[in-house]
Amino acid sequence: MALIVQKFGGSSVATAESIKRVAKRIVETRKAGNEVVVVVSAMGDTTDELFDLALSVAPLPSGRELDMLLTAGERISMALLAMAIKSQGQDARSFTGSQAGMMTDAKHGSARIVEVKPTRVRAALDAGAAIVNDISALRFDFYVADAVARAGAGLVLMHSRGTPATMHRLPPVAEIMQEVTHSLRASVKMAERRGVKRESIVIDPGIGFGKSQKQNLELIAKLDQLIAAFPDYPLLIGTSRKSFIGRILADESGKPAPADDRLHGTMATITAAILKGAHIIRVHDVKAAAETIRVTESIRENLRTM
């Protein structure tokens, strides 16, 4: 029996129907004889909507109350998902971050995670997990690198700013390429210093994690520069169904396209990323992405022979 850790972003649980589809996938994994731990984000663009709602009632909302408000998004999605799993015949229980062992300081609005017990990560590795995807690139807990090194597993170091509760409220940095390059370089050094093999490390610029709309697009447009800065490491990118695509595809009233209507926009970002040299693509819609990559790579190969 393996311990499977599944992560579902906001676009994967944006509607009741999508939550039921996710629940079915989880139940199928459980029925295959695996233990399952699920990490889930707020539904769709709920976090952005809640933040906008807070600003509409208070120009300078209390940091504490804003934190309370934004955590409601994850509480909603995790509770609904647990309900959907139970309705399909499997037991499930939801936990908040603190209940799962993630502890922060008391600085509302700019809190830092001060402790994350990596026992779950170690348990997953002991059960045979091959890759650990660290969205903090070891900022939250550098001991994760120790567990990865001992297991000889792969490690994805993803750039992000702040914490999941604060990253959407942070002001944009002046130079996003410099910030991402500097931060990932420090994370790579930390991972290697703690025993992770160079060939086991993958870097990820973290599209949507503490970046502005313009910065997300800039990172995609300049992926080749980031790859040149890290020639020894594969680059992974995840743009699938993200909110910046929804904003680009907004209707005439300015309402962003919902997650389920971002397929073609996602494929456009994948095409751009492949042409800029991305090595690994993280997606929801596997068939569409695979076909997009095949065609894009064919075009790229022809460009090289011209």
Is residue 169's pLDDT more than 80?
A: no
Q: Give the pLDDT of residue 212.
A: 92
Average pLDDT over residues 167-190: 91
**Amino acid occupying residue 184:** L
User: Considering the chain, what percentage of its residues have pLDDT values greater than 90?
Assistant: 50
Nearest alpha carbon to residue 35 among 116, 128, 119, 135: 128
Residues in the chain: 306
Q: What span, in angstroms and rounded, lies between the C-alpha atoms of 262 and 75?
A: 25
pLDDT of residue 236: 96
Average pLDDT over residues 210-219: 94
**Cα–Cα nearest to 219, from 259, 262, 186, 173:** 173
Q: 65-110 pLDDT, tens per residue? A: 888 888 888 889 999 999 999 999 988 888 777 666 666 666 655 5
Q: Which residues are catalytic?
A: 242, 282
Sorted by where each starts, the structural domains of the chain and their CATH numbers stand as 1-100 (3.40.1160.10), 116-236 (3.20.20.20), 238-306 (no CATH)
- Report the alpha-carbon distance of residue 61 to residue 305 in Å, rounded: 57
pLDDT reading at 201 higher than 70: yes
